Structure 1
Amino acid sequence: MALEVVGKEDLALALKLPAESAGGPARSAIADWIRDTVALCGAIPRDELIERSTQLCTGAGYSRELSHGRVERVIKVLLATGDINALDTSSGSLIFSSAGTRISVDNDSDALIGATGIGQADQAEKSVPLCRRVPAEAGSIPLVDYLGYPKIAESFPELDPADTPDLRGVALRLRDVATRQNSEQLPGKWERVASLSGSDLCLMTDGQGNWALGLPREEGTAATCLLDHPGQAGWLYLGMRGIVAFSEWPEHLAIPDQILRALGILAIPEDDTFRRWDVPAAAQEFLLGWLGLDDVQADGGADPDQDRVILAPVSARLLVEAAPGSGKTWTACRRVSQLVNDGVAPTRIVLLSFTRAAVTEIRERIGSLLDEPDFASDITILTLDAFVWRLLLAAEDRPDSISGHDEAVRFVVSCIEKGERDIVSFLSRIEHLTVDEAQDLTGDRKKLVIALIRTLAHQCGVTVFLDSAQAIYGFTNADSRAFAEELGEPRSGFRTVHLRNDYRTQSASLKKMIAAARPVLGAPSQEPSEVYRTVRELIEDSASGKVPAASNQETNPADGRTFMLFRSRAEVLAATNSMLREGRRFRVRLAGGAGIVEPWIGAVLGGIEGEVVDARQVADLFGQLSPPPPVPFEEAWSIFRRHAPSNGAGVDLHRLAKLVSSPNPPTEIVRTDLGYRTGPLLSTIHAAKGREADTVHLMLPRWPERPDTNWMEEARILFVGASRARRKLKIGSSTSILRPLQGSRGRRWRPFTRHGRPDALVQTGIPGDIDIEFQNDPAAWGGEPLLAEARERLWRHALRPRPLRAVRDGDRCRLELDEPGGRGGTVGWLSRQFGNDLWSIGEHVCGTRSPPPAVFGGIWLLGVTTMASSSETDGQPRIGLAPVVTGTPLVHFSPKA
């Protein structure tokens, strides 16, 4: 019936008009005819639908074989998108129509899904997705809601189904596990299907639905690590390859159904295999955010400027001026990996970066570029402060105690200048030193780096990366010139290389802004305040729109690649707490990028007595933990053994506890972003330094009003924030109503008197607010069983923000989960110092010493960290868990009490 109604001859002509390069009818025309046929018939056997469609194409002059294969694949995609449905019966598969649905694809267009009318063949073109597009209308279903959360948890049950998965992180962890295990070859006949980008690891199948990770052996590639679920293979490939995966999906590797659903709506198939898709830029942006993918680009090789750095001799000394997006980190990683691949011992290479996040990213990138990925763990890749502590440990006459990083830096500088034997000996073994983000080195740290370079052996190479336009830590233009001149002077042996090409920015307006702002910042001819005005106006002109206050911004899983950047920590605090109150999903970067120690460590090892633990004990504890840890036992044990091995085959808990409580724990056990994995990242501009996002919401501060404003630094800060954007920059405004509390360690507050009540907003969650010793003392909890219950409670709530309330308990406040009837349970203790600050604020507000309330809310459990404290009985360190809290609770004081 359908053929007569639609008109066979007209459709044959329509199919023939947009003929494709392969000599077959347009896939979009076939899709239109199939949708309309199913809608008219109501239901039709699949085999009959394929045959009728093939006959139609053959009648239009196309080959039967080509047409038949194309029809089958179009039907598969239409089933994935929901355009048509299928029901398996005893006599075969029955195809029937879907209810009509409009999906909001972007601001301008909707996708039509299902039975929404016939006669759409005139829209058939080669350059459109299989799903029909029409102008946008109000009330359409958002695409992210139609697709739902990525269903990676169906293949990886240990992952939370409500979070955007870290696909690349999962793939990298499995790669590391497989590489370290170096397992025996799996029995059977295995075929290599696809390599995982940047490593020797590959996906292999036995043709029976089983998949494994393969590693190279002398006799060829061998399957060594069986995947738990066949669906893992496609997700792992996507995680390692990123968007590039859709340009050539491997044969025999199934595209996950949910991904095929998205591609059918957003992308255009490029050939009849339906393994090559053209994904438009806007669709790429959505997929990256929805899937939580890194923007993994195909490695097109280095440009001539980058080659001058990467291929320079090991002993070369280079000062690399690198503009935003010029591939600085990529070049640094390629430089180091090239040195190792050329034979330089990894243990003799040092790379110093500015932030922990950058250190973690750099190590992963270098590992993916090495011929032997395991060598990445042998390279010294540290923040400058962490490297200082390593030098401090090498010093023979180091003091018994050092109060903070700054004092440690000054002591090490003095040791180097005096030629301290052990430190000089340590430095003499380095063959190449790389310093990243050198423009952020000021004062004693700049002095330290210059002292380091001058102490290195003459044949030791050095590569220093900097960009004075991105100096945001009190680094003046005079400092920049002095630093460059000291390194660039003839006797130093340095030469300068400029990286000019912008590989990051994909917006013409943003490229124009960066190109215009850099010369203004680099060699200003205007007054500093006018430089600030010029840069701010350039940023505002380049923005693609405005956004409301943080608490009014809607968030969804596709916001995973959006940064919301603020000038100050106080503004981040205000936005964090307003978004928590509104129930928004987001992540927040901790102040200063400090980070927390992964909570699974304390959840597994908390409460263990003794000095050494063996693999069997840890494996048993892993199995008892609920929910299970996010890393497999093998990886966790490898981390423990790498950083705290005992003399035997166990792990030294005393050593591990010292690492956990040290100022610089290993980067692989540190997390800097807390909250949900989905939604935008809230951060100061300083803490986002070195990172980038598809979309940036730059929350501009009020115009500076202080007479001592450093206008140049403020201009550079705004420039750094704006240049974090790859594709889109939007601007908003922000402010903070809190003020510093005199005599405290940085706490902020504000009087909030209403109806005559003397209240105050009080910042909660600054360093020292959680009493670590009390937190891990069984006596404080009423015994070890109650402390163990608290650890279990913290672990259960480690990954989701939860509201808390504070209950005064003597000279401290007890933190409880804020649940009806007080059934939430205690998770921690606020310190005496927090209580003292509350009393001080009460005196400010009331004019007399006034007690805080017995109970108050407005505090949030933002995350959980592993910590260590000394036992009261034997002085041995104990590993445990502590809450990470935030909030600006409204505290009511009682002057009459």
Structure 2
Amino acid sequence: MTVSEGVGLSLTPAQLSVVTKPWDARSLVTAGAGAGKTTTLTYRLEHLTGTEELLAGEILVLSFSRAAVRELRERVDKLATTARRVRAQTFDGWALSVLLLENPQRDDLGGTSFDRRIAMATEAIERGVLDASEQGVPAHVVIDEVQDLVGVRRDMVEALLDRYADNCGFTVVGDAAQAIYGFQVADPDERANETNLFFRWVRVSFSDDLVEVTLADNFRARTKEARIALPYGPRLQTLPAERGEAAKEAEAVYAQLRSDLALAPDFGPLDDAFTLASLRQFEGTTAILCRDNGQVLHLSERLHTLGVDHHIQRSPRSRPTPAWVAQLLLATSAAQLTEDRFRDLAVLAPAWDASRTWHALRRCAAGPRGTLDLEALRRAVAEGRLPDELTAPPFHPLVISTVHRAKGLEFDRVLIVEPPAPSEWRGEHADPPAEARLLYVAMTRPRDDVYRLARPHTWMMRKHKPTDRWYVGGRQSYARSGIEAGDLDVCRATPAGADDPVSDPPALQQYLRERVHGGDAVELRRLHDLPASDVETPPYGIFHDGRPIGVVSERFRHDLWRLLKINVGWKVERWPCRVTGLRIDTVESVAGFPALTERLGLGDRGVWLAPRLCGLGRFDWTHAESVPEGHHHP
């Protein structure tokens, strides 16, 4: 049975027209919010592998976010048959794989920025690296979220499609109304030009045979309240090309969206008993959507104080390796694993599907005769090459997120922090089209209910541009009261306790495995008073219930020093004794040198567990001049 025969009754005519096009067709699909895009792409892949008989390795699937990749992967596993081995990747993840095609052993990428990797991958594509690869040139490329292709990512995709235009079909999907990543382009004029630039490039470059399809139905919003913003999508998709006219039209749309949101019910103050009960007891999924991460950090701190469990949505680029991967590598001395042996080791939590996980692992560490190569898996962990669906955060029913990080997600209930009036935008740097699209994306996330949430008082929350971190200031410009934790703030070069003669690294690994969980409170304690250099603070240990579980990274020490250095002439001579209020985001697997772990009694695999931090840390300036007696070790 063909895809069209099997699912024709469940797809709209527009969806079916996208699904059933031949492999060499070139399609540009405009898919509005909740328009069944993922379902359409799932059956498109099934048609390509089933009816069109392309091999899974001949299809390249790219998307902007790990959330979109994970959703597509899960939908393919559930609904498709022949397409199950098709690999979906983020643009950043694929760029890394392209670079490793040229040189699998290259070790110069660890400190390279994402944007630089993208640019390097573009150069490699133009040199023909795909022509010489084992899988060869893709026969069909599927690209999701193309409205967010700006700058170097747009350059990379255009280079790919342009180089292989003669023998490669494509299906590109996007919605200009949801283009909210233009801020990655700093210059306002360049940013305005980037809007719809990829759409224009595709239309001009493939004008002879490009087929355009619009998916206009909405399958997400199940209530009238959840549909309130949908009518504004077409207006945001077709903003004028001229910057001034676009700003005028976008400001009008923003005003109408903001007015419609004002009609939504007020969720109530967070410290109200009824509000707290609603957050704790709601049976569906809830998202609190904020305009920036300063609001996220502030609200998360308040909810923790009020005893409300929740999760902060990670950046799309955050890729922690789950703790069970280290457990898997340490559970056997074998070089390869069969699927049956993998299942016998039982390292997965109940929420993980063993078959799906096995195939995902094999995509980055395939061994001979259908096995899993464990040394290849260790290298994949060290290089951050695990498939996106394996690094996704665990499910949590209550999420606090910026609108940017919630892109592509949907929730039963959405609480939107009151958006600013146009008069509160940043003067000449205001970007009305971006503001309108951002509010539109927020208001199209709910399945059922949308509420307003009063804007928190975050006047002391400020962004420190040199470190790209939020911090807590004060009435005086030099005040520093707290700092945001980031993904790379824990030292990953050595396991916890490796440099402490009184610690027991194996016992600390067991403690991390059994006692440390996402959401747990931790604090940083200054270990001594001697910085390793003139541009960083002294080291800080990470303590969980009074027990050391790691130390901060060099990056954190340097960023903290830069934050405390108020200006060029300021000499940093005082450091906080403690930093309290931080939380565990997750416990992740880390890979390093096997000789190191063997010396520490942690096995010869070269893997261990390390905490990853999140939240807002508050400075304790007690004993700022020196570490008090007895504070060096717990």
Instruction: Please state which band the TM-score falls in when normalised by the shorter chain.
Output: 0.7 to 0.9
State the AA in 1 paired with 2:376: R
1:669-726 Cα distance to aligned partner (Å, 9 max, x none): 21235xxx55421111111111112221111343323421222112111111111122
1:307-344 Cα distance to aligned partner (Å, 9 max, x none): 21111122211111111122122111111112222122
Normalised to the residue count of structure 2, the TM-score between the two structures is: 0.80
Distance 2:290 2:309 in 1: 18
Alpha-carbon shift at residue 507 of structure 1 (Å):
3.0
Q: 1:610 to 1:457 in 2, by over 3 A?
A: same
Larger relative contact order, structure 1 or 2 (CA cutoff 8 Å, min sep 6): 2
> Which residue of 93, 104, 109 corresponds with 1:386?
93
Q: 1:621 to 1:789 in 2, by over 3 A?
A: farther
Work out whether residues 416 and 424 of structure 1, in 8 Å CA contact, stay in contact via their aligned partners in 2: no
* Length, aligned pairs only: 580
State the AA in 1 paired with 2:461: L
1:275: which partner in 2?
Answer: none
Greater Cα shift, 469-478 or 709-718 = 469-478
2:425: which partner in 1?
Answer: 704
Alpha-carbon shift at residue 471 of structure 1 (Å):
0.6
1:462: which partner in 2?
Answer: 170
> Which residue of 883, 886, 890 corresponds with 2:614?
886
Alpha-carbon shift at residue 729 of structure 1 (Å):
1.5
1:356 aligns with 2:356: no
1:394-435 Cα distance to aligned partner (Å, 9 max, x none): 337997624232222222322333x42554767864222111
> Which residue of 484, 491, 504 corresponds with 1:771?
491
State the AA in 2 paired with 1:528: A
Q: Aligned residues: percent identity?
A: 22
Local SS of the residue matching 1:672? coil
1:711-755 Cα distance to aligned partner (Å, 9 max, x none): 211211111111112222212243543223464x3233223589x
Q: 1:530 to 1:465 in 2, by over 3 A?
A: closer
Local SS of the residue matching 1:671? coil
State the AA in 2 paired with 1:488: R
2:506: which partner in 1?
Answer: 788
Work out whether residues 488 and 496 of structure 1, in 8 Å CA contact, stay in contact via their aligned partners in 2: no
2:141: which partner in 1?
Answer: 433
1:114: which partner in 2?
Answer: none
Distance 1:812 1:657 in 2: 29
Q: 1:805 to 1:448 in 2, by over 3 A?
A: closer
Work out whether residues 859 and 885 of structure 1, in 8 Å CA contact, stay in contact via their aligned partners in 2: yes
Work out whether residues 239 and 250 of structure 2, in 8 Å CA contact, stay in contact via their aligned partners in 1: no
Q: 1:431 to 1:867 in 2, by over 3 A?
A: same
Distance 2:117 2:579 in 1: 40
Distance 1:852 1:354 in 2: 39
Work out whether residues 816 and 826 of structure 1, in 8 Å CA contact, stay in contact via their aligned partners in 2: yes
1:449 aligns with 2:157: yes
Spell out the pairing of 1:563-578 with structure 2 (5 A cutoff). 563-578=287-302
1:369: which partner in 2?
Answer: 79
Distance 2:54 2:80 in 1: 12
1:505 aligns with 2:221: yes
Alpha-carbon shift at residue 352 of structure 1 (Å):
1.0
Alpha-carbon shift at residue 771 of structure 1 (Å):
0.7
2:446: which partner in 1?
Answer: 725
1:338 aligns with 2:54: no
1:479: which partner in 2?
Answer: 194
Alpha-carbon shift at residue 815 of structure 1 (Å):
1.7
Greater Cα shift, 513-522 or 406-415 = 513-522
Spell out the pairing of 1:106-255 with structure 2 (5 A cutoff). none
State the AA in 2 paired with 1:861: I
Alpha-carbon shift at residue 367 of structure 1 (Å):
2.5
Q: 1:641 to 1:330 in 2, by over 3 A?
A: closer
Q: 1:767 to 1:510 in 2, by over 3 A?
A: closer
> Which residue of 502, 512, 519 corresponds with 2:235?
519
Q: 1:816 to 1:303 in 2, by over 3 A?
A: same
1:861: which partner in 2?
Answer: 584
Work out whether residues 149 and 198 of structure 2, in 8 Å CA contact, stay in contact via their aligned partners in 1: no
1:738: which partner in 2?
Answer: 461
Local SS of the residue matching 2:158? helix
Alpha-carbon shift at residue 567 of structure 1 (Å):
1.7
1:695 aligns with 2:413: yes
1:488 aligns with 2:216: no
1:579 aligns with 2:303: yes
State the AA in 1 paired with 2:119: R
Work out whether residues 147 and 196 of structure 2, in 8 Å CA contact, stay in contact via their aligned partners in 1: no
1:686: which partner in 2?
Answer: 404
Distance 1:614 1:808 in 2: 43
2:550: which partner in 1?
Answer: 828
Work out whether residues 643 and 656 of structure 1, in 8 Å CA contact, stay in contact via their aligned partners in 2: yes
Spell out the pairing of 1:591-630 with structure 2 (5 A cutoff). 591-592=315-316, 594-605=318-329, 612=335, 622=345
Q: 1:497 to 1:344 in 2, by over 3 A?
A: same
Work out whether residues 473 and 481 of structure 2, in 8 Å CA contact, stay in contact via their aligned partners in 1: yes
Q: 1:868 to 1:460 in 2, by over 3 A?
A: same
Alpha-carbon shift at residue 663 of structure 1 (Å):
3.7
1:303 aligns with 2:23: no
2:434: which partner in 1?
Answer: 713
1:615-641 Cα distance to aligned partner (Å, 9 max, x none): 799879957x8x977558887666655
Alpha-carbon shift at residue 464 of structure 1 (Å):
0.9
Distance 2:357 2:465 in 1: 44
Work out whether residues 394 and 423 of structure 1, in 8 Å CA contact, stay in contact via their aligned partners in 2: no
1:415-461 Cα distance to aligned partner (Å, 9 max, x none): 333x4255476786422211111110011211221221122253432
Distance 2:479 2:357 in 1: 47
Alpha-carbon shift at residue 800 of structure 1 (Å):
4.2
Alpha-carbon shift at residue 799 of structure 1 (Å):
3.9
State the AA in 1 paired with 2:78: S
Alpha-carbon shift at residue 472 of structure 1 (Å):
0.6
State the AA in 1 paired with 2:203: G
Q: 1:833 to 1:460 in 2, by over 3 A?
A: closer
Local SS of the residue matching 2:493? helix
State the AA in 2 paired with 1:323: G
State the AA in 2 paired with 1:485: R
2:256: which partner in 1?
Answer: 537
Q: 1:556 to 1:648 in 2, by over 3 A?
A: same
Local SS of the residue matching 2:375? helix
Work out whether residues 339 and 358 of structure 2, in 8 Å CA contact, stay in contact via their aligned partners in 1: no
Q: 1:344 to 1:794 in 2, by over 3 A?
A: same
Distance 2:387 2:511 in 1: 26
Distance 2:252 2:614 in 1: 34
Work out whether residues 612 and 646 of structure 1, in 8 Å CA contact, stay in contact via their aligned partners in 2: no
State the AA in 2 paired with 1:442: V
State the AA in 2 paired with 1:570: G
Distance 1:592 1:511 in 2: 26
Work out whether residues 801 and 862 of structure 1, in 8 Å CA contact, stay in contact via their aligned partners in 2: yes
Work out whether residues 415 and 453 of structure 2, in 8 Å CA contact, stay in contact via their aligned partners in 1: yes
Q: CA RMSD in A?
A: 3.8
Distance 2:252 2:227 in 1: 19
Work out whether residues 329 and 605 of structure 2, in 8 Å CA contact, stay in contact via their aligned partners in 1: no
Alpha-carbon shift at residue 468 of structure 1 (Å):
0.9
Local SS of the residue matching 2:428? coil
1:660 aligns with 2:375: no
Local SS of the residue matching 2:525? strand
Work out whether residues 489 and 612 of structure 2, in 8 Å CA contact, stay in contact via their aligned partners in 1: no
Q: 1:303 to 1:714 in 2, by over 3 A?
A: same
Work out whether residues 801 and 860 of structure 1, in 8 Å CA contact, stay in contact via their aligned partners in 2: yes
Work out whether residues 842 and 850 of structure 1, in 8 Å CA contact, stay in contact via their aligned partners in 2: no
Distance 2:151 2:17 in 1: 30
2:187: which partner in 1?
Answer: none
> Which residue of 26, 42, 52 corresponds with 1:317?
26
Q: 1:851 to 1:621 in 2, by over 3 A?
A: farther
1:266-320 Cα distance to aligned partner (Å, 9 max, x none): xxxxxxxxxxxxxxxxxxxxxxxxxxxxxxxx99511111121111122211111
Alpha-carbon shift at residue 510 of structure 1 (Å):
4.5
